[in-house]
Structure 1
C-alpha cells in the first residue's frame, strides 16, 4: 500500500520523495503503535474484563486522527494527479489535430498531382489515338477530382477550375469519339416529313467505311476496337448502339420485311461497302414476301454489318451481341406479324409444305447465333413457326368467322330454290380403317338382305321425300354459309386434336353468330318486308334441318375428344326452329293488325243502305282481298306449301272473324242492308280462296290448297252466315234442324236468336221461329 502511494506521488513531479516517504513512515509507525495498543486493550478488556474507559477513548481519538490524515493525503494525491492528466490529454489532442491536418493536406496534394499527371497523359494519349488509355486516364482524373471535392475547402477556385477543365476535356473526347463513330456508319435517310411507305424506304442508304483514322489508313480493326471500348468506358456506347439500332430497324430491316417489293443491294468500294434499299421488279406485284425471301434479305444486311463493323469485342461481349439484344425482340415481332402470319396455309393439305418454312427459320436463327446476334436457344420466332397447326386453326377460324359474318350481313333477298332432290353436298371423308370398313360393308350387306326380305313380304317402302326439305326458297348467303361450315368441318378431319377442336367449335360459333346477328342486323327489314320474314323463316328451318345430322356425319372421323359425344349440333335445332317461327309469327301479327285496321274503316257494316257507308265497307273488303293477294304473290313462291296455306288461312280467318263479329253486333238489319252484307261476304267467299290456288309447278299439291276449311277455322261458320243473310225464317229453321243441322254446328242458339231479331221484324212468325231455335 505504501509503495503504491509513493509511486503515485513520485509520478506527480510536484511533491518531494523524501517528504512523502517520511510522512508515510511516521504514519506507518503510528499505525503499528495503535495496533499494538488496540490489541493490548482488547486483551486487557477481554482478559481482565475491566478496561479503563479513559484509555479507550484516547485510543479512539488516535484512530480517528490517523484516519483523517490518510483522507487528507488521499485527496491531495487525487487532485494533483487529475490536473496533470487533463493537461496531458489536451496537449495530445492538439498534436494529433495538427498531425491529421498535415496528413489531409498531403493527401490532397497527392490527388492534385494525380489529376495533373492524368490530364497530361490524357493529352498525349489523344495525340497518339490511344483512345482506351485516354478514357481510362479521364476516369482516373475524375476519381482524383471527386476525392478533392470531399475536402472541406472544396469550394476553392482551384477546384472549380479543375472540374471545369475535366468537363471540357470529357466533352471534347466524347465529341471526338462520336466523329469517329459517325465515320464508321454513314446513313443517307429520307426526310422525316415524308410518310413511311414503299417509295419512302427507297431513299435509304448505309455506307460502312473501313478507314478508322483521318489519314485514311485502310482496315484498322484495332483502332475500331479502341473507339468502341473508349465509348463503353465513357458510358456512351449503349446510347450510340441504341440510336444505330433504331435507325437500322426503322429504315432498313422492318421495310425489308413489310414490303415485298423491296430488296437490299451491297456495293463494294475501296473504302468499304454500301447497302442500298432498292425496288425488286420481279416482286412488284407481291404484297408480302415469303419467309425465305425475308430471311435472305435480312441475313445479307446483318452479315455485311457483322463483317465490316460489329465483329468487335467490347468487354465480355461482341458488338453484334449488344446490337442483337436491342433489335431482336422488335425484329422477330415484325417478322411474325408481317411475314409468317401471311405464310400460314389456308388449307390443311398445305400444312406439310410448311415444314420448309420451319427449316428456313431454324437456319436463319442458326446463322444469327453464329454471328452472335442471337444468344438464346428458344425464341418466339421459331416457336411461332413450329406451332403452325395452332396458327393454321386460328387463322382458319378467324377467316371463317369473317366470311360468315359477311354472309350474314349481306342482302337476304337473293334466293335459291330448294327442292326435295336438292341435297346437301357432304364431303367425302377418309375411311376409318380397313377393319371398320369391312365391318361396315358386312353390316350393309346384312341390312340389304333384311330390306329385301321385308320388301318381299310388304310391297311398301319409304317415300323418296322422307327426311327431305319441302320445296321453298332460302337466301343464297345461307346456302353458302352451310357450305362454309361443311368445308371447315372437313378441315377438322385428320387435323390434330387442338386444331380439330378449334375448327369444330368455330363452326358452332358460326351458327350461334347467325342466331345472334341476323335477327338484330336485319330487324327493321324483317318487320317491314313480309318477303324477307318468310325467307328468314325458311333459312332457320333449313339450318335446323341440317344441324340434325351434321355432327353425326363427321363425328366418327374427328379426334376422340370430339367423337366421344360432344361433336353434335342437335342442341341448337330447337333454338333455330323457334327463331324462324318467331320471326314469321311477328310478321303474321303485323299483317293481321293491318287487316283489322282496314276493316275498321268499314263503319261497322251498319246502315249500308247509305251509299257512303256501303262504299266504305266495300272499299275495306276490297282492300282486305288485295292485301291477301299481294301476300300470296310474295309468299307463295317462297314458303313451303303447307306453311303458306296455314299462314294465308290464318290471315283470311282473322278477316272473316272480324266481319262476322261486326255483323253479329248489328241489332237491326234491313232487307236492303242484308243484301249489301250478302254481297260483301260473297265477295270474300269467292275471292278469298283464290289465294290458295297453286302455282303451275305445285299442281300436285292441289289437295292442300283446295281444302280451304282445313286452314280457315271459321270458314264454314262464315258461309252459314252468308246463307242466313238471304234466307227466310223457314229456311233458317230448317237449317237449324232442332239443333242438329249445319247452322246449329256453327252458331249457338243465343247467337242465332240475336241474328234473327236483327234480320226480321217482330211478328208471330218470328216468334214461332225463335221458339224452334233451341
Structure 2
C-alpha cells in the first residue's frame, strides 16, 4: 500500500513539473502578446495620437489576471524547489528565471498603466483647476517615466513619445499657473519707461488680490493663493517665481523707498485686494534717515507677509499627500536680502556716518534701529541666522567713521590743491596759525612744562642783552602764500586734533591721512599747475613760498600733538620732519627753473645788441639801446610781480642774480671788442650809464619795507659784477694816465675788477698805437 502511494505521488510530481513547464511557456507567450498590445496602444495614444482607448480596460483586466497566475505559479515553484531540490535544481532554476523575466516585463506594463492613469487624472484635475492635485499626478507620471527609462529594455521610440507628452503637459500647467499668478499679483506701471524718477514712482502700484472679483466669477471653483503656490512648489518652480517677483519688488518699491527721503508707502485695503502705492511728502533731507527707511520697508514686507507669504501650502483634496514644507518668507528673503542690504548701506547708512567724533555716541540709535529692523524680519521669517552684513556694517562704526573722515579730508585737500594759486594772503613773522585749542595737559605734563620753562628762564637771565635772540629768529619771513595752502595747513591741524579724541584705529588712520595730504600735494600741485608755473613768474614765486611755508610747519607739526595722541602713536613715528627736505626741494626746483627761463630771456634780448660793435652806426646803436631797454623792462616787470611776494632776502638774491647775468653779458661783449673809437666809447658809456642809473631801482624797498632799505640799497652785495661794471665805464672815458693810476701796480680797484690781459685788450681797443700806449701797457703787469 505504501509503495503504491509512493509511486502515485512520484508520478503525480512528475506530471506537475511537466504541467508547470507547459503553463509557464503558455504564460510567456501570453505576456509577450499583452506587451505587444499595450505598446501598440501606448504608441497610438502618445505617438500616433489615434483614438484607440476602447480596449484599454480589457488589457488592464488581462494584465491583472496574468499577474495573479504568475504569483500562484511562483509560490508553487518555490514549494517544489524546496521539496525536490536534490532532483530538479537546474530545471526549476531555468523556469524561475524565465518567470522573473516575465515579471519584469509585467512590472513595466504596470508602470505604463500607472503613467497613463496619472496623465488622465492630471488632465481631469487641471480642467477643474485643482492645481495641487494636477501637479502631484504629473510628478507621479514623471516618476513612472523615470523608472521605465532606468530599465533600458523598453522601446526607445515609445519612451521619447512619453517624454514629449510629459513635457507638453508640464508646460501646460505652468502656463495656467502663470495666468493665475498674474491674477493674484498685479503690477501697474506709468507709461514712461524711466522708473527712477519721482513721478514714475508715484504712478507705480502693486495689487495683491486675495479673492476673485465678482466680475470674474465662473462655475469653476476659484483656486486660492496657497493652492497656486503649492502647485508651483510641487513642480519646483516656486523659487523661480519668487525670484522674479523679488527682483521687481526691489526695483519698483524697496529701492525707491531707500533712496528717496520724500517717498512713503501707502497701504490701501479693498474687499478683494490690498494695494501698495506711493505718496510724496515734503522734506529738507538730502538723504533719508535709516530709521525712517526701516519703518517704510517694514510696512511693505508686513503686507506681503500677511497677504502672500504667511499662508499654509495645502492640497485641493483632503486625502491627498501634502507637498513638502516650504517657508515662503525665507525663500523670498534669500532672493532680496543681499541686494536690499547693499541698497540700504549705500543710500542710508553711508550718509548717516558722522563727520565728527563727538557725534559718534548719537550713532548708537541707528545701531539699535538696525537691530530692531532685523529682529522684526526674523520674526516674519524673512531672515535666518544671527548677524547679517547690514548689522555688521552698522556696528563697525569706528572703522567707517575713520574711512569717511579720511576720505573727506583727502577730497577737501585735493580741492584746495587744484584751486587757483594766485589768490594770496600775506604772512608776517607775527602771523599765527589758527590752531584749535588742545586739551589741557595732565598734572605731570604741567610740572614738566614748568620745569622746562624755569630752566630756560634761568639760562636766559645769565645771557647778556646783546646775545639774546631776536623773537622772530625762527619765524617765517614776510611773504605771500596761496590762500588755499593756508587752508590746507588748517585742515591738517584740525584733522590731527580730531585724531587726539578718536579711537586708536581711527587716530592711526587720521594721522596717516594727514601725511597723505602732503604726499598728495607733492604729486598733484606741480603736475596740475605745471603750465602756469612754467609761464608765470609770479605763480612760481608763490609756489616757492607755499612749499617753504608747509616745510616750516612740518618741522613742529608732529611734536605739537605727540603728547595728545593715543599710545599706539607714541612710538616716535608721529613726525613730519622727514617730509621737510622734499618740500624745500620742490619749491626751490620750481623757482630755479623760472630763474633759468628768465636768464634765457635776458640773454636772448642782449643777443640782438649786435655785440655792441660799431656804435657810430645808428642802426647798431639803436639795436643795442633797444636791447638794454628790454633787459631793464624785464627786470622791472619781475620786480613788480616778485617784490611783494617773495621774502626780501630771496627777492634781492633773485633780482641780483638776474641783473648780474645781464651785466656779465654786457661786460663780456664789450671787452671782446678789438677796436673802440672815441664815438663808440661815448655811446657805450651812455648805454652802461643807463643800466647803472635804472637797474638799482628794482631793489628800491616798498613803503612797508623801509626797515629793509639798508639791505636793498647794497646792490654790490647781490650783484658781484656791479663793481667791475663801474670800472668798465671808467675805462671807456678815462685817459691812459687815469687807467694806470687805477691799476696801481695790480693793487688798485681796476686790478680787482679785471685781469691784466683784459685791461691790455681794452687799452689796445680804445687807444691808438703810440709810445704813451706802449708805456701804459708796460705798466699793466
Contact 1:212 / 1:224 at 8 angstroms: preserved in 2? no
Shift of 1:607: 0.9
1:9-48 aligned at under 5 Å gives the runs none
1:551-570 aligned at under 5 Å gives the runs 551-570=558-577
CA distance in 1 between partners of 2:673 and 2:465 (Å)? 61
CA distance in 2 between partners of 1:489 and 1:522 (Å)? 28
CA distance in 1 between partners of 2:636 and 2:129 (Å)? 103
Match of 1:203 in 2: 203
CA distance in 2 between partners of 1:313 and 1:390 (Å)? 44
Shift of 1:112: 2.8
1:503-652 aligned at under 5 Å gives the runs 503-652=510-659
Which of 408, 412, 415 is equivalent to 1:406?
Answer: 415
Residues 453 and 595 of structure 1: CA distance in aligned 2, closer, same or farther (over 3 Å): closer
CA distance in 1 between partners of 2:537 and 2:604 (Å)? 17
Q: Is residue 479 of structure 2 the alignment partner of residue 480 of structure 1?
A: no
Match of 1:394 in 2: 403
Match of 1:194 in 2: 194
Shift of 1:243: 0.6
Shift of 1:639: 0.7
Unaligned runs of 5+ in 2: 1-87, 314-323
Residues 166 and 620 of structure 1: CA distance in aligned 2, closer, same or farther (over 3 Å): closer
Shift of 1:736: 1.0
Shift of 1:91: 8.6
CA distance in 2 between partners of 1:638 and 1:667 (Å)? 44
CA distance in 1 between partners of 2:661 and 2:465 (Å)? 46
1:141-180 aligned at under 5 Å gives the runs 141-149=141-149, 150=151, 152-154=153-155, 163=163, 165-180=165-180
Specify the SS of the correspondent of 2:571: helix
Q: Is residue 731 of structure 2 the alignment partner of residue 724 of structure 1?
A: yes
Which of 326, 341, 344 is equivalent to 1:332?
Answer: 341
C-alpha RMSD of matched pairs (Å) = 2.6
Specify the SS of the correspondent of 1:170: helix
Match of 1:302 in 2: 301
CA distance in 1 between partners of 2:116 and 2:723 (Å)? 126
Deviation per CA, 1:646-697: give whole Å up to 9, x if none.
Answer: 0000011001100000111011111111111111111111111111000111
416-425 or 291-300, which moves further after superposition? 416-425
Match of 1:76 in 2: none
Specify the SS of the correspondent of 2:496: helix
Match of 2:292 in 1: 293
Q: Is residue 509 of structure 2 the alignment partner of residue 502 of structure 1?
A: yes
1:125-140 aligned at under 5 Å gives the runs 125-126=125-126, 130-140=130-140
Specify the SS of the correspondent of 2:181: helix
Specify the SS of the correspondent of 2:211: coil
CA distance in 2 between partners of 1:556 and 1:637 (Å)? 39
Shift of 1:430: 1.2
Deviation per CA, 1:197-233: give whole Å up to 9, x if none.
Answer: 222222221122222799879xx99954343222111
Residues 90 and 352 of structure 1: CA distance in aligned 2, closer, same or farther (over 3 Å): closer
CA distance in 1 between partners of 2:180 and 2:598 (Å)? 87
101-110 or 489-498, which moves further after superposition? 101-110
CA distance in 2 between partners of 1:764 and 1:570 (Å)? 70
148-157 or 662-671, which moves further after superposition? 148-157
Shift of 1:93: 9.4
Shift of 1:113: 2.7
* Bigger Rg, structure 1 or 2: 1
Residues 589 and 151 of structure 1: CA distance in aligned 2, closer, same or farther (over 3 Å): closer
Contact 1:261 / 1:287 at 8 angstroms: preserved in 2? no
Contact 2:615 / 2:621 at 8 angstroms: preserved in 1? yes
Match of 1:374 in 2: 383
CA distance in 2 between partners of 1:144 and 1:209 (Å)? 37
Deviation per CA, 1:550-594: give whole Å up to 9, x if none.
Answer: 111112111223222111111111111111111111111111111
Contact 2:195 / 2:252 at 8 angstroms: preserved in 1? no
Match of 1:6 in 2: none
Shift of 1:148: 4.0
Shift of 1:98: 5.2
Shift of 1:115: 2.4
Residues 524 and 693 of structure 1: CA distance in aligned 2, closer, same or farther (over 3 Å): same
Shift of 1:122: 3.5
CA distance in 2 between partners of 1:298 and 1:271 (Å)? 23
Residues 716 and 377 of structure 1: CA distance in aligned 2, closer, same or farther (over 3 Å): same
Residues 654 and 424 of structure 1: CA distance in aligned 2, closer, same or farther (over 3 Å): same
Which of 721, 741, 756 is equivalent to 2:763?
Answer: 756
Shift of 1:136: 2.1
CA distance in 2 between partners of 1:250 and 1:279 (Å)? 18
CA distance in 2 between partners of 1:289 and 1:365 (Å)? 18
CA distance in 2 between partners of 1:473 and 1:155 (Å)? 95
Match of 2:263 in 1: 262
Residues 417 and 116 of structure 1: CA distance in aligned 2, closer, same or farther (over 3 Å): same
Residues 235 and 101 of structure 1: CA distance in aligned 2, closer, same or farther (over 3 Å): same
334-343 or 98-107, which moves further after superposition? 98-107
Shift of 1:142: 2.0
Specify the SS of the correspondent of 2:570: helix
Deviation per CA, 1:317-371: give whole Å up to 9, x if none.
Answer: 4100000011111110111111111111112221111111111111111111111
Shift of 1:763: 1.1
Match of 2:713 in 1: 706
CA distance in 2 between partners of 1:306 and 1:599 (Å)? 90
Match of 1:436 in 2: 444
Q: Is residue 458 of structure 2 the alignment partner of residue 450 of structure 1?
A: yes
Shift of 1:636: 0.7
Specify the SS of the correspondent of 1:722: helix
CA distance in 2 between partners of 1:645 and 1:312 (Å)? 90
Q: Is residue 741 of structure 2 the alignment partner of residue 734 of structure 1?
A: yes
Contact 1:313 / 1:319 at 8 angstroms: preserved in 2? no
CA distance in 1 between partners of 2:506 and 2:312 (Å)? 47
CA distance in 1 between partners of 2:617 and 2:165 (Å)? 120
Which of 662, 667, 672 is equivalent to 1:665?
Answer: 672
Which of 369, 373, 380 is equivalent to 1:360?
Answer: 369
Q: Is residue 382 of structure 2 the alignment partner of residue 383 of structure 1?
A: no
Q: What is the TM-score when the length of structure 2 is the normalising length?
A: 0.82
Specify the SS of the correspondent of 2:572: helix
Match of 2:428 in 1: 419
Residues 116 and 212 of structure 1: CA distance in aligned 2, closer, same or farther (over 3 Å): farther
Match of 1:117 in 2: 117
Deviation per CA, 1:16-74: give whole Å up to 9, x if none.
Answer: xxxxxxxxxxxxxxxxxxxxxxxxxxxxxxxxxxxxxxxxxxxxxxxxxxxxxxxxxxx
Q: What is the TM-score when the length of structure 1 is the normalising length?
A: 0.83
Shift of 1:180: 3.1
Specify the SS of the correspondent of 1:464: coil
312-321 or 551-560, which moves further after superposition? 312-321
Shift of 1:538: 0.8
Q: Which runs of 4+ in 1 moved over 6 A?
A: 88-94, 212-217
CA distance in 1 between partners of 2:439 and 2:459 (Å)? 27
Q: Is residue 692 of structure 2 the alignment partner of residue 685 of structure 1?
A: yes
194-203 or 534-543, which moves further after superposition? 194-203
Contact 1:189 / 1:251 at 8 angstroms: preserved in 2? no
Which of 756, 767, 771 is equivalent to 2:774?
Answer: 767
Specify the SS of the correspondent of 1:564: coil
Residues 160 and 761 of structure 1: CA distance in aligned 2, closer, same or farther (over 3 Å): closer
